[in-house]
Structure 1
Amino acid sequence: MDFARTEEQRLLIDTARRVGEKFGLDYWRTLDANKEFPKAAWEEICNAGLCGIAIPEEYGGAGLGMTELAMAVEALCAAGGGSTLSQMFMCNPIFGGITLTKFGTPDMKRELLPKLVSGKATFAMALTEPDAGTNTLALKAFARAEGSGWRLNGQKIWITAVPQATKILAVARTTKAEDVRSKVDGISLFLIDQDRDGISHQAIEKVGTNTLPSSAVFFEDVRVDGHELVGTLDGGFRQLLDVLNTERIVTTSGLVATAELAIRLAVSYAKDRKIFNGQPIGAYQGVQFPLAEAHIQAECARLMNHKAATLYDQGQPYGSEANMAKWLAGHAAGLATDRAIQTLGGMGYSKEFHVERLWRDARLFRFAPVAEEMVLNFVAQHDLGLPRSY
């Protein structure tokens, strides 16, 4: 097992870090306060070729793998954006890039992948529903066959960056659950225009990740053309798993970066802040130990995430590793941001010192894109061989 980074990987990480530093902590604090989309940052990321890392070269990408994408996201997010920046990669290189590269038609790839790489096409995925949540197989959105296409009706919730998206990856039933032999059958994926007649959306007020809006989305007799089917009719759930598991890899990269950034801010403060006998507070084990523990957890999550990404790149099963890495990273980022606030004391609760934003944003990823309880269910069943518990 070789942990050494290649020269290409080192150059990629350095490029990502330099781009991230152009949009540092103050940039993200301002956007968070104004609930403003990071348009300038994303344009720079695309111009630097970072959106197209895992896109094939024939479509304008770098033709690299998920491992390189994970490394780049870590470097970008650790420069100031934190976990909310990783959501941009979920939406675009994952929901758009992985979906199209693996399951898109040749026409879809030729039309959309170069636009994705350049930033001219942006994506959202409409999966989660109010009454289904993590239980995707219980979704109720339904695409009724009509002529050469479908009519889509249903409601989705907690969908990221809908107003900014040009395309929505909509997940819907195309055959009713009672009419299929296997419960995983009857679900299909469609890639449709965001501004199509019959699609409406409403923003959800939330605690954090304010730079990317979350929305309830409504489909009312939305026309879906035959060429907008992605993958296999009624076989979309199995194909969706690759999208969801690679989403977890990118999520983990953002959380590892959040832990790294929060710890760096806390360490810097702890070295300078002196109390009582003139010692810096960083000399006390009560300050050191929680930060060291968070660092250990984050490094373990990073390694497991790189393993998951490497397995994906090699075409091997990687679902367990992706889920375990995400579970570890959620805890590491939660501990790191909480202890960073505690280290800074009252200043940690202020917006001036940034860690409160990292804390608010990272809390989302203890239950999204998959709840940590569901990760434990998955590991218990698939890795330990225990009976299904849900």
Structure 2
Amino acid sequence: MDFRLTDEQNMMIGAARAVGDRFGLEYWRKQDAAKAFPQAYWKAVCDAGLCGAALPVSHGGSGLGMLDLALAVEHLAATGGGSTVGQLFMINPIFGGVSISRFGSEAMRAELLPKIIAGDINCCMALTEPDAGTNTLELKTSATSDGDGWRLNGRKIWITGVESAAKMLVIARTKKLAEASSRTDGLTMFMIDVKREGLSHTPIDKLGTCTLDSSSVFFDNVRIEPHELVGTLHQGWRELLDVLNTERIVTTAGLVGTGELALKLAVQYANDRKVFGDRAIGSYQGLQFPLAQCHAEIEAARLLNYKAATNFDMGLPFGSEANAAKLLAAQAVASVTERAMQTMGGMGYAKEFHVERLWRDCRLFRFAPVSEEMILNYIANHDLRMPRSY
């Protein structure tokens, strides 16, 4: 077991840091205030080759691994973007890139992967539904046969990045539950155009992650063409899990980078701020110990995420590690952003000191893309072999 990074990985980290530093915290503060997609930033990420790090060389990627991608996300987040960076990678090289590269047709890969990798188009994924939520197997959005294609009807909610996306990965039921051989039978993935007759969406006003819109999406007899099928008709559940578990890895990487950034801002403030004489407030253990605890927790999440990514790259099971890393990272970053604000006192509440944005944004990841409670269910059922409670 070797924890040393390769020269190539260190070069990737350097490239990520260079892009992140070029934009910096003020860029993100302004984008957040404007609720604007970070288009210039994402194009710079793609131009640096970071979007395609884990995607195939044959279609413009670097052909590296998920660990390399996690390193890039982590360091981009740590230079200013925070946990939103994980979402940018989630919607594009994961929802778009991984689903297409692993399960799309060769024609789909040739058409879409170069555009995703170059940042010419963005993607999103429509999975969550108002009446299903985490219980994906109960989703009701249906794709019924229509000649050589399908007609899509239903509703999705909390879909990230629809407004800026050209393509949408949709998960629909292509068999009624009553006709399916199991609850997993009859789920199918499709990659469709966002701008299509019968597809509409409305924004959801929300607390944080304001640079990426969240929407309710409606499908009213939307035509799906035969070539838009991703993976295996009716058997998309296991294929979807590959997409969702890699989603966990980039989410965790974004959170780890956020924790690193929040600690850096808190320590800088504590070491500069002097009250009650000439001693910096950072010299008091009442401030030191909570920040040190946060550092230890962030490091634990980082290493477990590296294991998940490495297992993926080696073709080993990685779901348990990916989910547990996400659980630890979300909890640790909630603590560190809260503690950073407390360290800064009133200035932690001011937008000019940036931590409040990190705090608002990271709160989402206690319950998304999968809630703490469902991760704990997964660990209890799959890792501890305890009986299912739901």
Report how far residue 23 of structure 1 moved: 1.2
Give the whole-Å Cα distance in 2 for the aligned partners of 1:142 and 1:20: 41
- What SS is found at the alignment partner of 2:190? strand
Q: Hey, what does 2:311 align to over in structure 1?
A: 311
Aligned residues: 390
Give the whole-Å Cα distance in 1 for the aligned partners of 2:100 and 2:135: 24
One-letter amino acid matched to 1:301 = A
Q: Which runs of 5+ in 2 are unaligned?
A: none
Give the whole-Å Cα distance in 2 for the aligned partners of 1:122 and 1:205: 21
- What SS is found at the alignment partner of 1:279? coil
Deviations along 1:203-255, one digit per CA (max 9) or x if unpaired, are: 00000000000000000000001111100000111100010000000000000
Give the whole-Å Cα distance in 2 for the aligned partners of 1:121 and 1:262: 31
Equivalent residue runs for 1:1-390 within 5 Å? 1-390=1-390
- What SS is found at the alignment partner of 1:340? helix
Provide TM-score, normalisation by structure 2. 0.99
Report how far residue 284 of structure 1 moved: 0.9
Deviations along 1:163-218, one digit per CA (max 9) or x if unpaired, are: 11110000000001111111111100000001010000000000000000000000
Give the whole-Å Cα distance in 2 for the aligned partners of 1:123 and 1:329: 25
Q: Which runs of 5+ in 1 are unaligned?
A: none
Question: Which deviates more, 175-184 or 299-308?
Answer: 175-184
Alpha-carbon RMSD across the aligned residues, in angstroms, is 0.6
- What SS is found at the alignment partner of 2:317? coil
One-letter amino acid matched to 1:355 = V
Give the whole-Å Cα distance in 2 for the aligned partners of 1:65 and 1:245: 14
Give the whole-Å Cα distance in 2 for the aligned partners of 1:377 and 1:45: 36
Same amino acid, percent of matched pairs: 62
Deviations along 1:294-349, one digit per CA (max 9) or x if unpaired, are: 11111000000000000000111000000000000001110110000000000000
Report how far residue 114 of structure 1 moved: 0.7
Give the whole-Å Cα distance in 2 for the aligned partners of 1:59 and 1:95: 16
One-letter amino acid matched to 1:21 = D
Deviations along 1:357-386, one digit per CA (max 9) or x if unpaired, are: 000000000000000110000000000000
Report how far residue 121 of structure 1 moved: 2.1
One-letter amino acid matched to 1:66 = M
Report how far residue 290 of structure 1 moved: 1.0
Give the whole-Å Cα distance in 2 for the aligned partners of 1:215 and 1:248: 21
Give the whole-Å Cα distance in 2 for the aligned partners of 1:357 and 1:175: 43
One-letter amino acid matched to 1:79 = T
Give the whole-Å Cα distance in 2 for the aligned partners of 1:375 and 1:277: 48
- What SS is found at the alignment partner of 1:15? helix
Moved over 4 A (4+): none
Report how far residue 85 of structure 1 moved: 1.6
